[in-house]
Amino acid sequence: QVINSNPVILTVQPIYSLSLQSNQQNIGTIGSKLNFPHVLTNTGNIADSYKITLNQLTNDQFDLENIAVYADRDQNGEPDDNNNLLNNAILNLEAGESVAVVVVGSIP
């Protein structure tokens, strides 16, 4: 048996959403470099662009020196190389796509 119905038009609105993993603490000695790995994921349903900018907090009691963001394609928590600097770079991610990055800073 076949039942005919009126046509239905469904429109899906774009949803922009992201997740940034992970918030963390690290311990080091004077003069050492610290790595803070993160994974940025486009959790929306549409392609989107992201700009990673680093800022030191003004009311804390400590600042790292020479902070920078690097690509971490193999997700080992280390910069792939010093040429993949992502400071102020635009990252384009499709829906569901992720990129691993590592923030590096030196203890003064």
Q: What is the pLDDT of residues 35-78, one digit of tens each?
A: 999 999 999 999 999 998 888 888 888 889 999 999 999 999 99
For strands 98-106 and 90-93, give the pairing.
unpaired
Whether the predicted pLDDT of 100 surpasses 90: yes
Whether the predicted pLDDT of 83 surpasses 80: no
* Closest alpha carbon to 15 in 92, 91, 90, 95: 95
Distance CA 93, CA 40 (A): 9
Q: Which domains does the chain have, with CATH numbers?
A: 18-106 (2.60.40)
Model-level pTM? 0.82
Tokens of 29: 């000695």
Q: Are 18 and 41 in contact (CB under 8 A)?
A: yes
Distance CA 33, CA 25 (A): 13
